[in-house]
Amino acid sequence: MDFGYTKEEEDFREKLCSFLDKELTEEIARQNWEDKGVGPEAREFSRKLAANGFLGMSWPKEYGGQGLPPTFDFILLDELGKRWGAHIPLDVGYTMVANTILRRGSEKMKREFLPRIIGGEIEFCLGYTEPNAGSDLASMKMRAVEEGDDFLITGQKTFNTEAHYSEYHWLAARTDFNPNIPKHRGISLFIVDMNSPGITVRPLITMSGERTNEVFYENVRVPKDRLVGEKNKGFYYMMEAIDSERNHVFTPGRLLPIL
């Protein structure tokens, strides 16, 4: 059995490598959530990836993708990883959010967000961890209460690394407060504009000098059409998103420079 690339895949890889050799610098490679944070150079690089047809290869054509096999996505991630361990710069949106929207989002949500993610235009920050709910995400306390056409959200998140430069918050909050149900069954997932009234972002500087953030919500109104999938199913969607992240971010090519 031949496990190599097809001619079409190899042609794509060669085109991609030529592009990366010309456009990707070490500075751009370091502009990600693990290191320096995304700056204007990485955003411009994301737009160039999109303009040259390297993003969203396996995504449906109706949302701006190309409908190709997922092998093409792997080639992109693998070749990036071989160069300074690079990511797709706006990778939370690309590797976690988009794949969850494809599976769970409404048609309106897919058409609103997926083309802009493929276009390298927007980024998301993860709103999972709270001061007393880190590895035990089911213990989160942030509240989202229905009020008319909106959810009214109040509470605090912490270690939200990309919150100071992302356009949207991929936010988990409690929507069922019945103490007699398992905690993980009362959580919902939302897409929140980071410029919404009532959101405050405060820096947290790590021991190594990198910035992460605390994020505070004070009666923030979020339209109901920004609820991802079904109410109270958010914990399951978070697990899917994390699984997608593992498949997309931690690629073998990133290990080659240290072998």
> Hey, which residues are catalytic here?
245
Task: For residues 184 and 39, give the distance between their C-alpha atoms in angstroms, rounded to a whole number.
Answer: 35
For 133, the 3-state DSSP assignment is strand
C-alpha separations of 114 from 56, 59, 121, 142, 248 in Å:
9, 9, 10, 27, 17
With 0-12 / 13-18 / 19 or more C-beta atoms within 10 angstroms meaning exposed / middle / buried, residue 58 is middle
Where is 59: in which H helix or E strand? Answer: none
- Rounded CA-CA distance 196/7 in Å is 48
- Strands (E) located in 224-251: none
Close Cβ partners of 14 (under 8 Å, ≥ 6 residues apart): none
Residue pair 79/20 in contact by the 8 Å Cβ criterion: yes
Do 162 and 33 meet the contact criterion of CB atoms below 8 Å apart? yes
Enumerate the β-bridge partners of residue 75.
Answer: none
